[in-house]
Structure 1
Amino acid sequence: MSTSSTANASTAGPDPSLYQYQPLVHSSGEIRLIKIRRAQESQENGPNAAILLEISLFHAPLDQASPYLAVSYTWGDPTPTHKLLVNGAPLWVPSNTFRTLYTIHCSVQKTKTELYQAGEEVALWIDALCINQLDIAEKNVQVPRMGQIYRQARGAIGYIGAPPAGKKPEDGFLALAWFGNAPVIKPPDGIPADQSDPRFQAWYREHQIQKESEPPEDFGEALTGLFVSDWFVRCWVIQEMVLSRETVCLYGYGQEAKSWSLSTMVMLIDRGQNHATHRRDLGRAVKGRGGGGGGVGNWHEMQKAIQVDSWRVLREDLVKKPGGLGIVDLLSRTRVGKATDLRDKVYALLGLMNAEDVPAIRVDYSDSYLAAHLFRDVAVHCMASAEGPMTLVHAGLERSIPGLPTWVPDWSAKYRSPLTTGIYNACANLFRPINVLPGGRKISALGIKVDAIAYTGIPMSYPDARLQVRDATTSTGPDVYGLVLSAAIICGRLRERLGGATGYVLKHENWPDVIWRTCCMDRSWAGKRVTAEDRASFQACLRRFGFGEDVLAAVKVDEATGRMPVENASRILEDTALQEAALGFELMVIDLQKGRVLGTTAGGFFGSFPSTARPGDVVVVLFGGWAPFVLRPVGEDVFELVGAAYVHGIMDGEWVEAVLAAEDTEIFREFVVQ
């Protein structure tokens, strides 16, 4: 959803026959609602959509409005291309607005769902029509009320879009059902879709798939085809799906669309993730390994399934905190959300925020208040609170908006894998608010310098959903084992520089353990710190293929050629059995290491740094920072923030505690960041 693009040309010209909006009475809490009266054949919309929709639009106070359904969809191309008749007058709307309304009309006419009966006349709220998109003053009032609009609606209709050409809507649902161990797309009549209901649980236990079989034909293509729609990652959709009482999703177009309860979709994704074979099945959907998987190599699309489950988590968290969540927490969870107007990255979350943060948000769609101004205002608001250091975790040099201070998160920048909130404690619970210096361009924070970065490897990305790691001294090639081997090479160099040390600094761990724990940032698939069980599982997988304690020998560089022996790399990288056994680890590491680079510090620490880090940057622990930060000196006692880092051996406050034990408080200093 977007609220910033021109939705129609109704007021763009002098033609009095075009539909003209009447002002809302904001003091009375008025909103607009629509009803679709009928669809008739027409030649005016072209051969691809020869349908004309007739719609009535009316005003009503929100607190007195008759039961209505809110519509959730993606705008797509905002160019007005299709004509509607609104209260008898023409109005032009974008293609996807028309497709959404026509599909809803067809579904309501013929289908009974959790929200409407077949043939029922329903009132709808849809932003493109119910907010005058050409009236900035009206948008500034109505947008902050959208959370209330979706919360008060009797439910929402989410239009996902249509499947790829040649595919049927039910194909994606059936693939998702198999992924979630469900015997059919949804429970039969009389069995609720609520997985907490005892009747559902009894039915599910009796009929669930036992997953020993191979996935259905074209499983990967059908599953990723379902999630190809940007509806799953539009920032407005997050609030809409979290606040709506019940949601019916429509997939397909017009008469061919199928309805699907969002609660059932969430249930299947949740069940699939909790099943023992989840990571293997997800790997098959992405890569098509193991036979019969039908993988299409699209990890990006499958991440959208994870976003759907995040809606469930947000809803549960709001039950625990009915007053709303913190702004940085919300922005970090929803950073992957897309928005046409970058200000909507913040505005789309107003209905989920707590009362302390909402007043600090200036809703202003005028041309003089840009996204850069909004992002900086949010950061300034957060600096004086406990959320200040957490705000810095999402900031740094990687920005797409020019001119932002490095301590201000650019929520529109390319998504870099963040460190998981709350599982580290680098500052050992020491806290002091961050000061915004006069002028608003710099901040000052108290902290400790740990070490300087001495070496960085090759930044990691994963074009075509395959992790690429290239190094002039290796022949590693793609996939997670390229990363693990590259990490082993770096650790090998580090050990040699430290005089052949047999154990890692501070904790004196063995090197293979340091390697894999850093590759996964000491984080399990479930987002918690790794356990003994996690370690045993990972190490058993590697030891099975002779890649345990001998890892450093396997990647030792030949002094004559300066390269790692090809046979050592090939033995590991080309072993398909190893790849199949470790698919779950591979997907996790790929996700965690995107946009990062492995490297070492001068004193012997090994870590995963932001991809923009380079030798000479310094690692610091700021008071209140549960993760260490990388700063770049740019002047006398002035730094730029490169970003947050995982540095093995200091994530639980070990370094700070060592300083406190030595009573060496003289190394505490103020870091000025611009």
Structure 2
Amino acid sequence: MDEEILLSPTEYKYAPLQGLHSVRLLTLHPAASYETPIRISLREVSLDASVEFAALSYTWTTIGGDCSLSKCVECDGAIIKTTANCDAALRRIRHVEIFSNFWIDAICINQSNDDEKSLQIPLMRQIYRKALWVPSWIGEASCTLDEETSRPITDLGMEFLHNFAIELQGSKDSGQNPRHGTLYQEVVREHKAFWYCGVAAFSPSVRGLWEILHRPWWKRLWVVQEVSLARSLVLICGSKAVTFDKVEMVIDGLVRKHPGKSDDEYEFCANFVCSAISHFAMRDFVKRTQLQSDCTSGNGGPGQKAIRILDSTRNLCATDPRDKIYGIQGFFGDPQSDPENIFPAADYSKTAADVYADVARTIIIKTKTLDVLTTCYGFVRTVPDLPSWAPSWNHTPLEYFSVAGFKASNNSYVVYEASGDNQILKLKGKRVDVVKHVPDIPRTLEYNHLECTRLWRQWTDLAFSLQSYPTGENITDVLLHTLCWDNNTVFERLAPGEYRKNFEAWLNILQSSNPLEAVAKDLFEDEMAYSYAHRAEFLIWGRCLSTTVNSHLALVPMSASTDDQIVVLSGGKLPFVLRATGSTFKIIGPCYMHGIMDGEAFPKEEAAEDLESFTLR
């Protein structure tokens, strides 16, 4: 039979689904060995009926980046082509003797039918909530072997994860500080060496854990929805499996601020779990809210939950940019009954630009704030024809600070004017300054320590060229707050005196007469200076320091130029750099301008009729 299929394959023909709540379930036939060819059957069932099944969570792409339909699965005498990673997952989850039911998107949805996809996507919330369990396949075991045992390091990592979770649970139950645990210390012991040596600084078990937590599966957008909605999850890597509650325990144990945990240790731990943090945060969010909004009361109305989820999933990947919107709709109920569901129905006939613009406009109108615009940068346009005021949700934002701590427009509400043009957004605000001088854009965006040091020297020279500052503050103090966006490593506004000694050490080294290479080395090796250098390093990419006509310092997007306007828009927590293009403006991006971040340039009594109208395109 297998030879006949390989010689003369017949493509499986999907029959149209008959019911509005219908899905196809895949029955996976048992096999005696991993190598046995895969056989399945498909049948239509209603989600309203009592039916038992599991729903697979996986990524179409292999670890090596292969997403081609290179494998064949026999389905009712015909062939369905699938990816190598899906094929591997099917081989790992099938039983030796028992037929088992699964829902797997690549096979159970006719991927060549956009109309069917548009109808099936709203059902994914129900599918993953109804599934008895969700096997989460992150790929085969690592090809990297431990030199001592010759075992894949991911096998060691899965065992380490299991034992680490038990250690953390024991610390929690006994009220002990988890930082004192043996396995916790094994993870963080080389946290400083990691920044220079990478994963080579770790033991084989910790290196295996790192690889597990940084597999491509964690970067797939659809996975967040699947993980967050599932009742029971099991993480599977090769032949090893661990329940997801242990994964959650490890992530929580690493990112939590325990007594004695320094900022650099906290930052290392956050980096260690960065790929998995979105899944952890969203699963925790769903647990606490039971998929009901807790964001409307006192937080600007419907739309805040949408912003939170969109921001939490910004770093995740979707092949189709429209899925950055459609792929999170499972977190919301029916639009008729859930006021937080402000999203358009999935419609693959619309362009990504139209979908993104529709969502951005709706969020602005619903929340009456401009929080959604704070990740708009003029030089980040990853979607054709996207208006400058619509975020590129398929691109990683440049934020390394908390927007919530600022109130440039004095907690005012948006003043929105309808335009009838999907490409235009009309808002009101107040011009507060004009960009005067912006240093040359660096020739490279690969900011190693040497390049950071070169830019900082250039920027400090520019800052100290000011004779005085409009607020009366010392230029040194202004520079301290500006270069780190007035936020510390846990994204809170700086407390009085915070970073003072670190900044002074940083500035003394930076302004020394030593060669640039020696200064760069000292900035990142001196313990006192390193704390500020490492914080400011996060803000340097995509931005530059500028002066303004009114002698302010402003950290602006790197695409800003002389004569760009600095505007506080009503409803905005941050000021924005706008560029006039005829009678309209483009958003270049948000900026930090010391002295206006708490509403000093936007009086509370400012009446809407006294504000200027800005037409953004």
Q: Shorter-chain TM-score category?
A: 0.7 to 0.9
Return the alpha-carbon distance in structure 1 between the equivalents of residues 343 and 523 of structure 2: 54
Deviation of 1:349 (Å) = 0.8
CA distance 1:176–1:602, change in 2 (3 Å): farther
- Match in the other structure for 2:85: 96
Return the alpha-carbon distance in structure 2 between the equivalents of residues 94 and 629 of structure 1: 45
1:60 pairs, out of 18, 22, 45, with 45
Q: Aligned with 1:477: secondary structure?
A: helix
- Match in the other structure for 2:360: 379
**Partner amino acid for 2:383?**
I
1:597 aligns with 2:570: no
Deviation of 1:618 (Å) = 0.8
- Equivalences for residues 223-234 of structure 1 within 5 A: 223-234=209-220
Deviations 1:624-662 (A, max 9, x none): 0111111001114x21111112222211112213x85xx
1:516 aligns with 2:494: no
CA distance 1:86–1:176, change in 2 (3 Å): closer
Deviations 1:264-313 (A, max 9, x none): 22322222223445754577799xxxxxxxxxxxx7x8631443443345
Deviations 1:163-182 (A, max 9, x none): 5422478735866998xxx8
**Partner amino acid for 1:609?**
V
- Match in the other structure for 1:505: 470
Contact 1:417 1:594 in 2 (8 A): no
- Match in the other structure for 1:339: 318
1:151 aligns with 2:116: no
- Match in the other structure for 1:639: 585
1:31 aligns with 2:31: no
Return the alpha-carbon distance in structure 1 between the equivalents of residues 232 and 533 of structure 2: 36
Return the alpha-carbon distance in structure 1 between the equivalents of residues 362 and 502 of structure 2: 47
The alignment's TM-score, normalised by the length of structure 1, stands at 0.75
- Match in the other structure for 2:185: 211
**Partner amino acid for 2:13?**
Q
Range 162-171 or range 643-652, more displaced: 162-171
Return the alpha-carbon distance in structure 2 between the equivalents of residues 362 and 88 of structure 1: 36
Deviation of 1:581 (Å) = 5.6
Deviation of 1:21 (Å) = 2.4
The alignment's TM-score, normalised by the length of structure 2, stands at 0.81
CA distance 1:460–1:648, change in 2 (3 Å): farther
Contact 2:157 2:212 in 1 (8 A): no
**Partner amino acid for 1:303?**
C
- Match in the other structure for 1:435: 417
1:244 aligns with 2:230: yes
1:310 aligns with 2:293: no
Q: Aligned with 2:242: secondary structure?
A: strand
Contact 1:84 1:91 in 2 (8 A): yes
Range 78-87 or range 575-584, more displaced: 575-584
**Partner amino acid for 2:120?**
Q
- Match in the other structure for 2:464: 492
Deviation of 1:228 (Å) = 3.9
Return the alpha-carbon distance in structure 2 between the equivalents of residues 623 and 339 of structure 1: 33
CA distance 1:477–1:582, change in 2 (3 Å): same
Deviation of 1:347 (Å) = 0.3
CA distance 1:199–1:205, change in 2 (3 Å): farther
Contact 2:178 2:184 in 1 (8 A): no
1:424 aligns with 2:406: yes
- Equivalences for residues 523-672 of structure 1 within 5 A: 523-532=487-496, 535-536=497-498, 538-543=499-504, 546-547=505-506, 555=511, 566-567=513-514, 569-570=516-517, 572-575=519-522, 578-579=525-526, 588-636=535-583, 638-657=584-603, 660=605, 668-672=611-615
CA distance 1:670–1:263, change in 2 (3 Å): same
**Partner amino acid for 1:23?**
P
Return the alpha-carbon distance in structure 1 between the equivalents of residues 112 and 495 of structure 2: 55
RMSD (Å), alpha carbons:
3.8
Return the alpha-carbon distance in structure 1 between the equivalents of residues 155 and 26 of structure 2: 30
CA distance 1:308–1:17, change in 2 (3 Å): closer
Deviation of 1:431 (Å) = 1.6
Contact 1:33 1:57 in 2 (8 A): yes
Return the alpha-carbon distance in structure 2 between the equivalents of residues 320 and 520 of structure 1: 36
Return the alpha-carbon distance in structure 2 between the equivalents of residues 586 and 175 of structure 1: 33
Deviation of 1:95 (Å) = 1.3
Contact 1:80 1:94 in 2 (8 A): yes
Return the alpha-carbon distance in structure 2 between the equivalents of residues 63 and 585 of structure 1: 57
Return the alpha-carbon distance in structure 1 between the equivalents of residues 88 and 531 of structure 2: 38
Return the alpha-carbon distance in structure 2 between the equivalents of residues 430 and 342 of structure 1: 33
Deviations 1:581-636 (A, max 9, x none): 66665554444443222222121222222222111111100110111111001114
- Match in the other structure for 1:394: 375
Contact 1:460 1:594 in 2 (8 A): no
Deviation of 1:236 (Å) = 0.8
Q: Aligned with 1:358: secondary structure?
A: coil
Contact 1:394 1:418 in 2 (8 A): no
Deviation of 1:58 (Å) = 2.6
Q: Aligned with 2:601: secondary structure?
A: helix
Deviation of 1:519 (Å) = 2.4
- Equivalences for residues 345-356 of structure 1 within 5 A: 345-353=324-332, 355-356=338-339
- Match in the other structure for 1:558: none
- Match in the other structure for 2:199: none
Q: Aligned with 2:166: secondary structure?
A: coil
Deviation of 1:337 (Å) = 1.6
**Partner amino acid for 2:163?**
V
Q: Aligned with 1:123: secondary structure?
A: strand
- Match in the other structure for 1:131: 109
